[in-house]
Amino acid sequence: MQRTLSIVKPDGVNKNLIGEVIKRFENAGLKVVALKMAHLAKKQAEGFYAVHRQRPFFDSLTTFMCSGPIVPMVLEGKDAIKKVRDIMGATNPKDAAPGTIRKDFADSIESNIVHGSDAPDTAAFEIGYFFNATEILR
Ligand code: ADP
Ligand code: MG
């Protein structure tokens, strides 16, 4: 069993895709074990994406991530990290495989609907960024 963090980003919430994203994860056998709605301040978005602080898109990305409410969630299942990444599709929707969330719904490489942790260490950091132990089912 593995846990990962996913987020429906502001564009996904704005497009009424919260249920669609969760449905795709659940259909793949993943369990939602924590879920909330949040509206990040700029500093909170910067903290979440700290690994990208040297990238040219950092300011734009963190401004986008606090432009509206988001829905962070913890998903649990076998190979949860890879499953979520496969369901999301490539970062740039132009490169995303047919049937992935980003191919079906994303407008751009930045406004790409959904986040998913990319490795066990980042998953642990990202889950802890949004949820404390009492907020995650056990
Ligand atoms: P992923 O979300 O697929 O793991 P990254 O970790 O590389 O992608 O980037 C984090 C987020 O930053 C992306 O999901 C996207 O919203 C944004 N982003 C990535 N690359 C670019 C880019 N070249 N221009 C603008 N935004 C970008
Ligand atoms: Mg990433």
* HSE toward the beta carbon, residue 61, CA cutoff 13 A: 21
| Ligand 2 geometric centre to CA of 122 (Å) | 9
Reading the block at residue 39, the tokens are: 């509206």
For ligand 1, atom 7: residue with the closest CA: 91
Average pLDDT over residues 5-10: 99
Beta-carbon contacts of 120 under 8 Å, excluding residues fewer than 6 positions away, are: 2, 81
The catalytic residue among 13, 64, 115, 127 is: 115
Catalytic annotation present for 39: no
pLDDT tens per residue, range 23-68: 999 999 999 999 999 999 999 999 999 999 999 999 999 999 999 9
Per-residue confidence (pLDDT) for residue 84, from 0 to 100 = 99
Split at pLDDT 50, 70, 90, the class of 78 is: very high
What predicted TM-score, i.e. pTM, was given to this entire model?
0.98
Using a pLDDT cut of 90, give the percent of the chain over it: 99
Using a pLDDT cut of 70, give the percent of the chain over it: 100
